[in-house]
Structure 1
Amino acid sequence: MPVVLYTDPAWVIGPDGAVDCDRADVEREVYGTDIQMRFGPYRDGAFDVSGDAFLGALRGADAVAIYRAQITQEVVDLLKPGCRVVARQGVGTDNLNAGLLERHGILGFHVPDYCVDEVSSHTVAMLLALERKLIAQDGLVKEGRWSIHAGGVPRRTGDLSVGIVGFGRIGRATSRKLQPLYRRVLAYDPYVHDDLMRGYGVQGRPSLAELFFDADAVVLHAPLDDSTRHMINDMSLRPLRRGALLVNTARGGLVQPEAVLERLRDGRLGGYGSDVFTPENPCDHPVNKEILTSPHTVVTAHRAFLSDASERSQRLRVAEEIRRVLLTGRPPLFGRLA
């Protein structure tokens, strides 16, 4: 019987903080008695995604579903020759190592469109929380400090321009949600033609610098690869309008935290919202931890994708595609790596 290893599935952790196999109801329904399922090593409240226990769990797997775990040469060496497919339970391929999988004849796929509505809505929510100074006001009122003007006076968004970096599925959905709120919606994406942007009522900009020069707020929806890593840095932030807002719901690696912290300190950034950090928990990085102390930030724990419907859809689609590969030999229908 084929074996599927789920290395680090957050959804299998119960309210008591322990692995609860009964929560794998979606997967059992898809796999039935045809495919065996197991989970990676879990201890001290977290899955091991490296080390001997993690590597040992990979042996004998015909398929692997990863969440935050990284596909490395060491991992692939253990998966060969039996593993036929690796799935990422989420959007993005930066931890799938597509080239490495392809060189060793292992299929790979992700689920690029299961949470478009959730991430775009989360992005707009973070941006509006910054615009309307909601976090500052919430804290002050709860402390008994009632003041209309405390925390700063908001801007009128209808007079402002907002820029989107990355105009893929989520960037396009975000543009639709921002258009009723801002005077202009701009976008920069070197892989999307200006004609398509215009079809969405968005004005394209040919460079990141020109987008920053024209925008009062910027949201990030770019993928993470070698060309975009730390694309938000001290140099790229220089054209940004003073007091502009920045929101990142894409990947933590897009942003150089030292540059963000410095721009928050000098007021070039009027506010920073982020759902993603590198490393995953910002408290594990000294600069990110300091960013959290700024009164001009709003942060969440990498959950922009999350809703009851999106999580169930992602799990279902991953299981269906793995079943397709293992039982029919055909490649995934959706999200296959090029």
Structure 2
Amino acid sequence: MRVVYTDAAWSLDESGQVEPARAGIEREVFGPGVELDFGLHDGRFLLDGPEFHRHVRGASALVIYRCQVTPALLDAVGPSLRVIARSGVGVDNLNAPLLKEAGIAGFNIPDYCGDEVSTHTLALLLALERNICAQDRLVKGDRWSVHAGGLPRRVSARTAGIVGFGRIGRASARKLRAFYDRVVAYDPYVSADLMAAHGVAHAAELGELFAAADAVVVHAALTPESDRLVDADALARARPGALLVNTARGRLVDVTAVLDALERGGLGGFASDVFSPEDPNDDPVARKLLERDDVVVSAHRAFLSAESERSVRRRVAQGVADVLHDSLERDDDNH
């Protein structure tokens, strides 16, 4: 059986080349009976087109990261495909309805990096609150000044808001409560009683959350209903000088609306670990955000730690191995 890791960032060496020898965890889990193959990389992973489709042909399993599951991908792999695993929390690129229709197993790892993402969220938010990045640039540029970069506010007198109260939203709530006077959350799928159990107030509508919070962090899942959830209407309800942080999915936030809100002073700052497209330099609106001192960004690495990477790799490999083992047993029974 052949398992193809389409775009595993951990498989790249220091020079940016795919290095199969890095797959020690995977070889330990799969054993000698499984052939491992890795994505095509030339500056970026190739995730579509004829060359990529030839590369994945005949795979028994795919492990994807950013790769999109499409009918063309399934057709390219062919009837050998038994399972697709998403090496991460989100399922927006896994295309569960298509996999169900095709009879192909699919899974993600929803809980491996809650500590990392919630910590990264607080790091971005506090960097905005304390103007850390602006100060860093000024001092390193030989422009030392105590008051340069703006006057921070006292967070212990402020309210923090959370959009999405799943595993990561709850982890962030615990950490936010150490800094902010009050935490409020919006999630149409979570009861006010459960939020209260975490010491968090309930907002019935997204606009109500923005009207109540001095800082808002986004932890919602990306679905067709939540695409561009944080839009111009939501931001119009924001408190003057409110801060916005997104460590979930780029398409949850309308960056055009964010840029407009920053330019007119409606928002006091924006921080994001995620964009759509992935690299904000590839989008003209996002590039304008990068030029601003009131914007802090990172390269979609909120999930990352040595521990989380080892965990997700082992759990993905074990899940794929289990599906392939079950598939072999069923084939043997049928014969």
User: What TM-score do the two structures reach when normalised by structure 2?
Assistant: 0.96
What letter is aligned with 2:272? S
Match of 1:334 in 2: none
Match of 1:96 in 2: 94
Inter-partner Cα distance in structure 1 for 2:235 and 2:206: 9
SS at match of 2:316: helix
Inter-partner Cα distance in structure 1 for 2:8 and 2:88: 11
Q: Mind listing any 5+ residue stretches in structure 1 that lack a counterpart?
A: 331-338
Inter-partner Cα distance in structure 2 for 1:171 and 1:329: 36
- Are 2:244 and 1:246 aligned? yes
Deviations 1:266-302 (A, max 9, x none): 1111000000000000000000000000110110000
- Are 2:22 and 1:26 aligned? no
Match of 1:161 in 2: 159
Question: For residues 48-127 of structure 1, what are the structure 2 equivalents within 5 Å?
Answer: 48-127=46-125
1:190 shift after superposition: 0.4
Question: For residues 1-338 of structure 1, what are the structure 2 equivalents within 5 Å?
Answer: 2-43=1-42, 45-329=43-327
SS at match of 2:207: helix
Inter-partner Cα distance in structure 2 for 1:143 and 1:293: 16
Inter-partner Cα distance in structure 2 for 1:211 and 1:58: 45
Inter-partner Cα distance in structure 1 for 2:44 and 2:31: 28
Inter-partner Cα distance in structure 2 for 1:150 and 1:39: 48
What letter is aligned with 1:161? T
1:39 shift after superposition: 1.1
The answer to whether the 8 Å contact 2:58/2:79 transfers is no
1:40 shift after superposition: 2.1
Runs of 4+ residues deviating >6 angstroms: none
SS at match of 2:245: strand
Deviations 1:236-265 (A, max 9, x none): 111100100000000000111110110110
What letter is aligned with 2:34? I
What root-mean-square deviation, in Å, do the aligned CA atoms of Structure 1 and Structure 2 show? 1.0
Inter-partner Cα distance in structure 1 for 2:316 and 2:251: 25
1:69 shift after superposition: 0.5
Q: Mind listing any 5+ residue stretches in structure 2 that lack a counterpart?
A: 329-335
Inter-partner Cα distance in structure 2 for 1:256 and 1:239: 15
What letter is aligned with 1:261? L
Structure 1, 243-252 or 17-26: larger mean CA deviation: 17-26
What letter is aligned with 1:20? E
What letter is aligned with 1:163? G
Inter-partner Cα distance in structure 2 for 1:47 and 1:21: 15
1:57 shift after superposition: 1.6
What letter is aligned with 1:89? S
Inter-partner Cα distance in structure 2 for 1:224 and 1:168: 13
1:147 shift after superposition: 1.5
What letter is aligned with 1:27? E
1:80 shift after superposition: 3.8
What letter is aligned with 2:62? V
Deviations 1:164-192 (A, max 9, x none): 00000000000000101000000000001
SS at match of 2:235: coil
1:81 shift after superposition: 2.0
Inter-partner Cα distance in structure 2 for 1:228 and 1:28: 38
Inter-partner Cα distance in structure 1 for 2:246 and 2:51: 33
What letter is aligned with 1:318? V
Percent identity, aligned pairs only, is 53
User: What TM-score do the two structures reach when normalised by structure 1?
Assistant: 0.96
What letter is aligned with 1:62? S
Inter-partner Cα distance in structure 1 for 2:171 and 2:296: 22
Inter-partner Cα distance in structure 2 for 1:52 and 1:303: 30
Inter-partner Cα distance in structure 2 for 1:142 and 1:64: 45
1:56 shift after superposition: 1.1
